[in-house]
């Protein structure tokens, strides 16, 4: 029997199958396309580590306080001295009070004590600095000599200062200074004049005025006290910057704009004094306003508050010793004046605690340092399933791998990549041949650089790589920041370096031995085929740029082993031009003869395998393109000798 059997048309598109990785270009050329997003994804928190919580403790001692100048004057008149001089002299002086006469010589016969009024500003003080300036004025019209007196701390019964003046002319003012440093003095003093002498005015007559004598003036000035009991006047005890050290790992940040977080602060006073405290984040601003807080801290009290860090831009470079990672906090502690006496001590403290927590950064700039980060190994599954039925080596003409990225980091980054594939059959690793990728980076904050790198046959092993048909790519490596020692870095919260990879392989290739294999569910379990022998005739219109040698293989339905086959004559390739493009199809009539043994073996099979061995045009020397509209038309007829 002879009869027409099957007409079928195979386009290359159908031959390759419906595969999402195969695309058809506008010119119908088939292209293998693979894309993988985020093969490399670096976020801001990969490069900068913002500590979650930073706690700083400070103690401020009261220190030396200042006491206001105190002036106290006293005088010792002749009248006051009369009891202590020779009585005769005393009488003379008394008799001549108001007269101009010769002032008689005199000397004290016993000390004279002049008590001063107590200072009202304090009760007792221990001085770290200060002076008593003593001024003695001879108001008498005669020269005084051998003036010796002590300034006595009446309460402590101690001599504050002994003053000796050899000579003090009439009307002359003498000075002396008492250094208060280290002295603890009460507020009550007296002068104890041990001696005063005068040789009189003879021969000159002078006015004798008993209301005149020695004027003693003691000015306390520039007093710094470390403890005591006193009335304290308004004074700044502390005005300085303290530094909160923000630990960003190895990064040296110069500026940070917080996206969120909180700076809590607590002040604990151990003073008996009320303080007015000014806290200021002097290098920070929120919408142009410097955050500060001015509050009173009563004696021995506690105060706490906080600043929200959101939208707070802070200059971290103010510390000249460490112009990075340092947030200054300006503190000014001002003692409030007391009405009453207050006991105090310079070691009394105010403790401050600053806690910055839940910090998130909107942007930072500085220098992140030169660091190496590992790239987690990633496996990209290449879906080359359309090649499942094709064996043999394929040399692609122009495959391209494009590495595109967007970089918002103002940080020089270089990636050292390992890109290799795995041969699914041998398990061999195939190096793609990419060593490093230098990423361009923006020069201004907010800018995002988009760029791409192309790897083709001229700068990689892509041709050899794909010839081995790896079923997966393994991507790993590391990336390094500031590889070029560029110190200017900036990163925002949303900064990102995202790299995508795309592989485009136009199906233009040459091959000397490519085998298509497909399985046809031909018989569907039919056991007996009543055919003894025969032949299959193929009328072929070959529009493919391949010579085809087709075989029908019979696999054993149990073992899969090929138990028989028939071979068709060669089907000639379509006519192609020098560029491998099909000009016109070639018609062929081919026949395969099968015998009874083949038919019997078919009974043992559930399927038939169609195997087509191809050679691209001109013996595989010309790369040919696979255009989706290339087609192979086959009309199959059979000739069979029935054997019922």
By CB under 8 A, residue 17 contacts another protein:
yes
Closer of 268 and 586 to another protein (Cβ): 586
Helices (H), 74-221: 78-81, 87-95
Cα distances (angstroms) measured from residue 489 to each of 48, 369, 395? 11, 9, 45
Distance of closest approach, residue 33 Cβ to another protein, in angstroms: 20
Instruction: Supply angle C-alpha 166, 169, 171, rounded to 5.
Output: 135
The closest alpha carbon to 279, from 260, 288, 266, belongs to 266
Question: Of 539, 551, 595, 600, which one interacts with another protein (CB under 8 A)?
Answer: 539
By CB under 8 A, residue 642 contacts another protein:
yes
Note whether 470 and 421 are within 8 A (CB). yes
3-state SS assignment for residue 393: coil
Note whether 314 and 258 are within 8 A (CB). yes
By CB under 8 A, residue 515 contacts another protein:
no
By CB under 8 A, residue 523 contacts another protein:
yes
Owner of token pair 């590495």:
403
The closest alpha carbon to 602, from 564, 636, 639, belongs to 564
Q: How many residues contact another protein, by CB under 8 A?
A: 33
Note whether 313 and 284 are within 8 A (CB). yes
By CB under 8 A, residue 528 contacts another protein:
no
Helices (H), 172-304: none
Question: Of 26, 287, 521, 528, which one interacts with another protein (CB under 8 A)?
Answer: 521
By CB under 8 A, residue 593 contacts another protein:
no
By CB under 8 A, residue 426 contacts another protein:
no
The closest alpha carbon to 178, from 129, 123, 230, belongs to 129
Asked, as a colleague might, if the bond just before 224 is cis with ω within 30 of 0, I would say no
Question: Of 5, 224, 243, 324, which one interacts with another protein (CB under 8 A)?
Answer: 5
By CB under 8 A, residue 24 contacts another protein:
no
Closer of 239 and 519 to another protein (Cβ): 519
Distance of closest approach, residue 588 Cβ to another protein, in angstroms: 12
By CB under 8 A, residue 596 contacts another protein:
no
Closer of 359 and 612 to another protein (Cβ): 612
SS3 content of the chain, % helix, strand, coil (to 5): 5, 60, 35
Closer of 9 and 52 to another protein (Cβ): 9
Note whether 312 and 333 are within 8 A (CB). no
Q: Which stretch binds another protein (CB under 8 A): 7-15, 320-328, 338-346, 370-378?
A: 7-15
Q: Which stretch binds another protein (CB under 8 A): 69-77, 187-195, 208-216, 518-526?
A: 518-526
Task: Report the C-alpha gap between 141 and 158 in whole angstroms.
Answer: 33
* Per-residue contact flags (x/-) with another protein for residues 597 to 636, judged by CB under 8 A: -------------x------------------------xx
Distance of closest approach, residue 444 Cβ to another protein, in angstroms: 55
Cα distances (angstroms) measured from residue 309 to each of 16, 305, 635? 60, 13, 80
By CB under 8 A, residue 524 contacts another protein:
yes
Closer of 476 and 539 to another protein (Cβ): 539
Distance of closest approach, residue 15 Cβ to another protein, in angstroms: 6
3-state SS assignment for residue 603: coil
Q: Which of residues 54-113 bind another protein (CB under 8 A)?
A: none
By CB under 8 A, residue 526 contacts another protein:
yes
DSSP label at residue 83: G
Q: Which spans of this chain sit near another protein (rule: CB under 8 A)?
A: 1-10, 14-15, 17, 518, 520-524, 526, 537-539, 541, 610, 635-637, 639, 641-644
């Amino acid at each position: 029997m002879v009869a027409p059997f099957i007409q079928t048309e195979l386009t290359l598109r159908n031959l390759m199958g419906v595969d999402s990785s195969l695309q058809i270009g506008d010119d119908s050329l088939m292209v293998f396309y693979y894309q993988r997003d985020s093969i490399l994804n670096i976020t801001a928190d990969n490069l900068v580590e913002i500590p979650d919580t930073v706690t700083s403790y400070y103690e401020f001692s009261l220190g030396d306080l200042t006491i206001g100048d105190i002036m106290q004057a006293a005088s010792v008149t002749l009248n006051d001295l009369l009891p202590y001089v020779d009585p005769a002299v005393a009488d003379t002086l008394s008799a001549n009070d108001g007269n101009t006469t010769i002032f008689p010589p005199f000397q004290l016969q016993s000390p004279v004590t002049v008590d001063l009024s107590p200072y009202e500003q304090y009760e007792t003080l221990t001085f770290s600095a200060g002076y008593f300036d003593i001024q003695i004025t001879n108001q008498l019209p005669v020269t005084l000599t051998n003036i010796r007196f002590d300034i006595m701390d009446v309460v402590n019964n101690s001599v504050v200062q002994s003053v000796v003046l050899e000579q003090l002319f009439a009307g002359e003012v003498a000075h002396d200074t008492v250094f208060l440093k280290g002295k603890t003095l009460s507020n009550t003093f007296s002068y104890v004049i041990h001696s005063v002498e005068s040789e009189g005015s003879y021969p000159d007559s002078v006015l004798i005025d008993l209301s005149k004598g020695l004027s003693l003036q003691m000015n306390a000035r520039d007093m710094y006290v470390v403890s005591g009991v006193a009335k304290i006047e308004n004074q700044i005890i502390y005005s300085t910057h303290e530094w909160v050290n923000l630990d960003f790992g190895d990064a040296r940040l110069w500026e940070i704009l917080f996206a969120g977080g909180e700076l809590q602060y607590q002040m604990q006073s151990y003073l008996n004094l009320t303080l007015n405290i000014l806290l200021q984040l002097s290098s920070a601003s929120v919408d142009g306003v410097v955050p500060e807080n001015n509050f009173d801290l009563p004696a021995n009290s506690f105060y706490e508050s906080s600043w929200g860090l959101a939208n707070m831009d802070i200059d971290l470079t103010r510390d000249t010793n460490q112009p990075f990672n340092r947030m200054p906090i300006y503190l000014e502690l001002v003692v409030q004046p007391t009405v009453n006496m207050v006991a105090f001590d310079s070691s009394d403290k105010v403790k401050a605690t600053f806690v910055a927590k839940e910090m998130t950064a909107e942007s930072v700039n500085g220098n992140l340092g030169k660091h190496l980060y590992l790239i987690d190994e990633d496996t990209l599954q290449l879906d080359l399933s359309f090649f499942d039925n094709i064996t043999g080596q394929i040399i692609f003409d122009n495959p391209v791998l494009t590495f595109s990225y967007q970089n918002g980091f103002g940080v020089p980054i270089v990636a050292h990549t390992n890109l290799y594939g795995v041969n699914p059959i041998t398990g061999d690793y195939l190096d793609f041949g990419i060593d490093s990728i230098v990423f361009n980076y923006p020069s201004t904050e907010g800018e995002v650089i988009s760029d791409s790198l192309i790897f083709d046959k001229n700068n990689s092993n892509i041709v050899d790589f794909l010839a081995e048909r790896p079923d997966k790519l393994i991507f790993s490596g590391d990336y390094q920041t500031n590889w070029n020692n560029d110190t200017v870095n900036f990163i925002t919260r949303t900064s990102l370096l995202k790299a995508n990879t795309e592989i485009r392989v136009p199906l233009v290739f040459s091959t000397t031995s490519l085998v298509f294999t497909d399985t046809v569910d031909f018989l569907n379990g039919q056991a007996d085929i009543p055919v003894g022998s025969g032949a299959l005739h193929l009328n072929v219109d070959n529009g493919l740029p391949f010579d085809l040698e087709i075989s029908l293989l019979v696999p054993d339905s149990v073992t899969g082993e090929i138990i028989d086959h028939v071979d068709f004559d060669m089907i000639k390739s379509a006519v192609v031009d020098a560029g491998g493009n099909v000009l016109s199809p070639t018609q062929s009539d081919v026949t395969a003869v099968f015998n009874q043994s083949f038919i019997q073996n078919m009974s043992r099979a559930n399927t038939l395998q169609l195997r087509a061995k191809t050679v691209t045009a001109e013996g595989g020397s010309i790369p040919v393109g696979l255009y989706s509209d290339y087609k192979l038309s086959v009309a199959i007829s059979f000739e069979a000798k029935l054997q019922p």
